Structure 1
Amino acid sequence: MCCGRRASTPRRRCGRWWTSCARGCSRPRRPSPAVDSPAVDSPGVARPLWRHPEAAPRGLPRPMATVSEALSIALDHHIAGRVAEAETLYGRILEAVPGHPDASHLMGLLLAQTGRVAAALPHLDAAVAGDPASPTYHLNRGKVQDALGQTVAAAASWLATLRRQPDHGEAAERLAPALRVLAETAFDSGALASAAALYERVLALDPQNLSATFDAAMAAKGLGRLQEAAWLAGLSARLDPALLRARMAEAEARQVLGQTERAIAALRPALALDPAQGGCWASLCLLHNELGRGGAAVTAGRRAALAAPADTGLLVRLAAAQQIAEKPRAALAAARRGLSLDPASTELHLALGAAFDAVHALETAGRALDRAGRLRPGDAAVLAEHGRLCERAGLTERAAALLQRALAARPDDGDSWVALGRAALRRGDAAWAGRCARRALRLAPGLPPACCWPARSARRRGPMARRWPSTTG
């Protein structure tokens, strides 16, 4: 029999634990199921977490063997803020059961919470690999990836969370900003199609996101999807009625689509909010010009010039509106005012030449247009205006040369075709004059009858032997 005086260190014999006293007498210890039984919580694992009570971490009830019990106690330490004890236990569990999903997940969370974010990610990867169906694992891995700046990977993790739990509010809340960051990156790099697709996903998650809505409108505009751009810009304006950029973007898109009245309707609320918006007044001036409302266009142009007196671009638009409204002297004043601010403006010299032409000061108009041509050689608008001026002044050869150059660059200018036909008729080439007139009528079927006289003259005179060389077709 043993004397009962136990030694501090047990001895092992034949694979079993024995206890011995200080005198050397020994007897077999009764096996303890809690210590010697294997941990069976995970498939394929058949070994205990530790073989002797002395091997258990301090503070744990001894003996303990199952993974579930160890994980529960580790989690208690974790929740209570005893992170060192929790980390030790998580590590022991992962030594016994490598890749255990719950232990890997909790170890990853502990490391992230204590500032070791990079070390946390492999544990969360292991948790996802061990249990891919858990939305929580994907969610927390996305948080760590986002903290490491891995926005694409974080978005993928949160998308995986939503695929497994579509009503997961936190995943949707985190995914929308991540997708927006990716969309902005794609937009800035010129990948507009990718940006538009990402913005669409952002708006599916957060339909009231103002910045994403407006940015999506800009991406659609860049892709040429003007109907979509107009709709998104209008939606942005409804989300924030004070957002003037959205109103102007909608008006621009609708103007290009030919929806002039709807473009004007988009601008009116913006001007009601801020009557000093020169850009809005200038756009309104152009829109009224397109509808032939000369008086309204002039009024809008004046408001634009008053709102931004130093903006020469607005003065160019005002001069054009006054020309259309048959107010050439007012157009002349606007052009001169602009040139006092910017003497090197081609557009203002062109407007000045057109205004002088309208008041029949052809020589002065020619000098202004010569100046515009020197400032911007080969500009189709300058060549066309100068060519029409020369045709009215009777300078047939020069008019023909200028107009053919202008039409080579811009063959859809009906007025230039009419002027070229008249110049051809003065040269005696009625056939070419008729051809020019027919081309003008195809471009603008509503031309007044007086503009079609070259065609009638050509039919009356018959073909001439002389033909003008042309590159305009």
Structure 2
Amino acid sequence: MSGPALLLAEALGHHRAGALDAAETLYRRILDASPGHADALHLLGVLTHQRGHHAEAARLIGEAIRVDGTVADYHRHLGLVLLAMDRAEEAAACHGRALQLRPDHAEARFNLGVALAALGRKEQAAAQYAEAARLRPDFAEAHLNLGAVLQDLGRAGEAVASHRRAAELMPADPRPWSNLSASLRHLGRAAEAGEAMRQALARGGAGDATGLAVLAGSLHAEGRLAEAAEAYVESLRIDPGAPLVLNNFGLLLQDLGQPEDAAACFDGAVALKPDFVEAHDNLGSVRRGQGRAAEAVESHRKALAHRPDMAAAWNNLGNALKDLNRTGEAFPAWRMAVLLDPGLASVWSNLGNGLREREDFAGAAAHHRRSLRLAPGQPMAANNLGHALQGQGRFMEAARWFRRALALDPAYGEAMSNLGLAEQRLGRTEAAEASYGRALLLARDLALAHFNRGLLRLERGDFTGGWPGYAWRFASGQVGAGRQPAIPAWRGEDLVGKRLLVWGEQGVGDTMLFASVCEDAVARAGHVVAGHVVIETDRRLVPLLARSFPQATVRAQAVDARGRETLSFPDCALHTPVGSLARVFRRSLAAFPSRPSWLVPDPARLALWRERLAALGPGLKVGIGWRSQLMTAERRTAYTILEDWAPLFRVPGLVFVNLQYGDCAEEIERAEARFEVRLHRWSDLDLKDDFEAAAALVSNLDLVISPAMSAGELAGALGVPVWRFGGRDWTQLGTGVRPWFPSMRLWQPRPGEALPDVLARMARELAAGAESRPGPLTLG
């Protein structure tokens, strides 16, 4: 062996042993003697690269290639240097030239894969890693990188085999196990993923914050929440400044039912990373769940400020706005969400629910069907579609969808309750009762099931079972929010030494009905002192109720400086909503008193309106109303239009008086012109706000004909004959009458009849009465 060859061998020995200074001295001695020595130039270039002087290394290896371009390793090592200089495209070209010279060079294949991966050409990189592993089955790094790039390509199933082979070849290295954990998590194999991460941590030491965080994620996915929490805490102890870990820990805390702690994590995440959109969005979801919808809106908007194309954040923003009753703003947010991601089933469902609240039931059903096409296995989507169909009165179809929801989730209490209502509307009362019972076994505090079952029982005359269910009216959301005064609720106990507050609820019509029970409460307390019962009611009813119940103190509902109802009543010891008096005093039909009326009109106004009506001439004075002010899709079927009244308008001897308030002037004028009839009305009479005048007018009428509306309830409370038309409701309490109103007669559709047919039957009876009596028409 010649002198340069001996020096080169000695230098290479030092180089391999890590004695870089000694190796460099010998390489340079060779080059001093022979400046064009290709191997010395190449190896000195590799050594210089190892020292981090990449530009000089590239120059030296480039000189070696110019001397001899046929050596594959020269090109390969130049590729490595160029990659270190972020010149990946040139690096890939160098590795390609190495492979042209030596196609079976496994290391060159591997290095080309690294360069291609750096260029984002992952499919090509995967092919090179796979070929390197084929050429050298024990090439651990090739298996490691192949598994990683396959995972990046979404080919987790293929990646698993590469991770496992790398782990066999690198028994002390945590990386194959970490990668295996990620792939298994991607495949939904949470338990195996957790075990793989434990293997990684065992090889990487207990201080690996990232590994602990990954393990926590796997434990969370497995449902092992307490263990996951411990792993997150340990990870954050090692590295408290990891926003992603804080965010994921917040998600776990949400599942643990600790929303405030979860919010603290999300807050911490965005403090460390202000543009962390997921953390902003998650914080919004927590705040919404806490009932803090305004804060939720702010957080979702912050997420969208950083990423306006985030469909989930638009959806969540819409939900928070809906909670604030800003549905008009919620719809654009939901629509933006479906524009960005039309495959997001939950957004179509939210749009459907919003349309259902607007009573666009057909539109709601269409959106829920879209949601079901995207997620056919979602029980909530099936329940929502049933709810929309129920709004259209399509109870049979609705019931099928509720059953579909229950087939998907047999423990879905809300769907079972909705099925009960569908059965009830179909007249299947026994099935409805059973469904409500099952719903309450599934969800014992399901307010709507309690309320609807209560109404069903009251409809059947079951007082004992019905009144407790009716008490859920506020919690069910069907009657509006109940007030919660800071005093105990009255349950019927002795009132000696205690002042009772009876407060108004629902509309004025319901107040008039339940006012029939107020005199019982006053009588219960009457042995003490007058004013021992305080009745708080709509300001419009105060004079009428004060005159009717002189032993009580009647006042308008208390409000604060902003016009909101107050909840503090220092002058009372107990309270009850007026509708709850019936549970104490109307426990059977026998408990309804026989007196004809309970409201007392103003005598002076009574005389005034007697004169006014007398001035209209002879004939039966008939007050009429035809619809409620509160119109919903369901209620609309219970009301009429004036054109339906043609048969009544043709009955001779009737003098019609308008009792309909609201915007109805044009409707009345059209009917008067068409039917050549007069509906008497007075410009100084405010039927909406002046109940004193309305009561005096109604008290002088011979008959009131109306659907379910306050004019008919007022007439019944005054003892005036009332013909009430419409379907059955719970206030009949299992009878053919309404026991609350002795002067009221019910006219209900027979099979196959519509409401105009009922009005025609009324007309025939009135006409027959007129023919059988001489002189002016009177009401028998």
TM-score, structure 1 as length reference:
0.58
Structure 1 pair 439/252, CA: closer, same or farther in 2 (3 Å)?
A: farther
Structure 1 pair 248/114, CA: closer, same or farther in 2 (3 Å)?
A: closer
Instruction: Report the AA paired with residue 152 of structure 1.
Output: G
What is the CA–CA distance in structure 1 between the aligned matches of 2:198 and 2:112, rounded to whole Å? 34
User: Which residue number corresponds to residue 82 of structure 2?
Assistant: 186
Deviations 1:213-261 (A, max 9, x none): 2221111011111011111122233344444432232122212222121
Is contact 1:230-1:254 (8 Å) kept? yes
Say whether residues 1:333 and 2:196 are aligned partners: no
Structure 1 pair 182/410, CA: closer, same or farther in 2 (3 Å)?
A: same
What is the CA–CA distance in structure 1 between the aligned matches of 2:98 and 2:225, rounded to whole Å? 52
What is the CA–CA distance in structure 2 between the aligned matches of 1:146 and 1:340, rounded to whole Å? 48
SS of match in other structure, 1:292: coil
Say whether residues 1:370 and 2:370 are aligned partners: no
Say whether residues 1:155 and 2:65 are aligned partners: yes
Say whether residues 1:259 and 2:155 are aligned partners: yes
Is contact 1:431-1:458 (8 Å) kept? no
What is the CA–CA distance in structure 1 between the aligned matches of 2:240 and 2:316, rounded to whole Å? 29
Say whether residues 1:361 and 2:258 are aligned partners: yes
Is contact 2:31-2:40 (8 Å) kept? no
Structure 1 pair 184/458, CA: closer, same or farther in 2 (3 Å)?
A: same
Is contact 2:61-2:78 (8 Å) kept? yes
Say whether residues 1:201 and 2:134 are aligned partners: no
What is the CA–CA distance in structure 1 between the aligned matches of 2:195 and 2:129, rounded to whole Å? 26
Deviations 1:313-334 (A, max 9, x none): 0111122222233332222121
Deviations 1:183-209 (A, max 9, x none): 233222221111101100101212233
- The aligned runs of 1:24-173 (5 Å cut-off) are 117=34, 151-156=61-66, 158-159=68-69, 172=70
**Residue 319 of structure 1, aligned match among 206, 212, 216:** 216
Instruction: Report the AA paired with residue 293 of structure 2.
Output: T
Is contact 1:417-1:440 (8 Å) kept? yes
What is the CA–CA distance in structure 2 between the aligned matches of 1:271 and 1:184, rounded to whole Å? 25
Say whether residues 1:422 and 2:319 are aligned partners: yes
What is the CA–CA distance in structure 2 between the aligned matches of 1:310 and 1:275, rounded to whole Å? 19
**Residue 285 of structure 2, aligned match among 388, 394, 401:** 388
**Residue 225 of structure 1, aligned match among 104, 121, 132:** 121
Structure 1 pair 452/190, CA: closer, same or farther in 2 (3 Å)?
A: same
Structure 1 pair 438/382, CA: closer, same or farther in 2 (3 Å)?
A: same
- The aligned runs of 1:222-301 (5 Å cut-off) are 222-274=118-170, 276-301=172-197
What is the CA–CA distance in structure 2 between the aligned matches of 1:362 and 1:328, rounded to whole Å? 15
Structure 1 pair 279/413, CA: closer, same or farther in 2 (3 Å)?
A: farther
What is the CA–CA distance in structure 2 between the aligned matches of 1:155 and 1:327, rounded to whole Å? 59
User: Which residue number corresponds to residue 111 of structure 2?
Assistant: 215
Structure 1 pair 236/374, CA: closer, same or farther in 2 (3 Å)?
A: same
What is the CA–CA distance in structure 2 between the aligned matches of 1:154 and 1:429, rounded to whole Å? 74
Q: CA deviation at 1:446?
A: 6.1
What is the CA–CA distance in structure 2 between the aligned matches of 1:257 and 1:194, rounded to whole Å? 24
274-283 or 399-408: bigger deviation = 274-283
Q: CA deviation at 1:282?
A: 2.4
SS of match in other structure, 1:316: helix
Is contact 1:332-1:355 (8 Å) kept? yes
Say whether residues 1:343 and 2:240 are aligned partners: yes
User: Which residue number corresponds to residue 6 of structure 1?
Assistant: none
Instruction: Report the AA paired with residue 236 of structure 2.
Output: L
Say whether residues 1:400 and 2:273 are aligned partners: no
Q: CA deviation at 1:335?
A: 0.8
* Unmatched tracts of structure 2, length 5 or more: 1-28, 45-58, 360-780
What is the CA–CA distance in structure 1 between the aligned matches of 2:180 and 2:327, rounded to whole Å? 42
What is the CA–CA distance in structure 1 between the aligned matches of 2:177 and 2:309, rounded to whole Å? 28
**Residue 276 of structure 2, aligned match among 379, 384, 387:** 379
User: Which residue number corresponds to residue 249 of structure 2?
Assistant: 352
SS of match in other structure, 1:337: helix
Q: CA deviation at 1:365?
A: 1.7
What is the CA–CA distance in structure 2 between the aligned matches of 1:428 and 1:331, rounded to whole Å? 38
What is the CA–CA distance in structure 2 between the aligned matches of 1:243 and 1:325, rounded to whole Å? 34
Is contact 1:152-1:182 (8 Å) kept? yes
Structure 1 pair 307/153, CA: closer, same or farther in 2 (3 Å)?
A: closer
Structure 1 pair 262/339, CA: closer, same or farther in 2 (3 Å)?
A: same
439-448 or 330-339: bigger deviation = 439-448
Deviations 1:93-142 (A, max 9, x none): xxxxxxxxxxxxxxxxxxx9997545xx7xxxxxxxxxxxxxxxxxxx97
Instruction: Report the AA paired with residue 387 of structure 1.
Output: G
Structure 1 pair 146/290, CA: closer, same or farther in 2 (3 Å)?
A: closer
Say whether residues 1:455 and 2:351 are aligned partners: yes
User: Which residue number corresponds to residue 593 of structure 2?
Assistant: none
Query: How large is the RMSD of aligned CA atoms in angstroms?
Result: 3.4
Q: CA deviation at 1:155?
A: 2.5
Structure 1 pair 460/378, CA: closer, same or farther in 2 (3 Å)?
A: same
Instruction: Report the AA paired with residue 370 of structure 1.
Output: D
Q: CA deviation at 1:305?
A: 3.4
Q: CA deviation at 1:423?
A: 0.8
What is the CA–CA distance in structure 1 between the aligned matches of 2:280 and 2:310, rounded to whole Å? 12
| Percent identity of paired positions between Structure 1 and Structure 2 | 26
Instruction: Report the AA paired with residue 152 of structure 2.
Output: V
What is the CA–CA distance in structure 2 between the aligned matches of 1:420 and 1:435, rounded to whole Å? 10
What is the CA–CA distance in structure 2 between the aligned matches of 1:332 and 1:157, rounded to whole Å? 62
Is contact 1:425-1:433 (8 Å) kept? yes
* Unmatched tracts of structure 1, length 5 or more: 1-111, 122-140, 160-171, 464-473
Instruction: Report the AA paired with residue 382 of structure 1.
Output: A
Deviations 1:248-290 (A, max 9, x none): 3212221222212111222121223445543322222222222
What is the CA–CA distance in structure 2 between the aligned matches of 1:277 and 1:351, rounded to whole Å? 26
TM-score, structure 2 as length reference:
0.37
Instruction: Report the AA paired with residue 65 of structure 2.
Output: A
Is contact 2:263-2:283 (8 Å) kept? yes
User: Which residue number corresponds to residue 27 of structure 1?
Assistant: none
What is the CA–CA distance in structure 2 between the aligned matches of 1:287 and 1:411, rounded to whole Å? 30
What is the CA–CA distance in structure 1 between the aligned matches of 2:177 and 2:41, rounded to whole Å? 49
What is the CA–CA distance in structure 1 between the aligned matches of 2:40 and 2:253, rounded to whole Å? 70
Q: CA deviation at 1:153?
A: 5.0
Instruction: Report the AA paired with residue 124 of structure 2.
Output: E
Is contact 1:435-1:455 (8 Å) kept? no
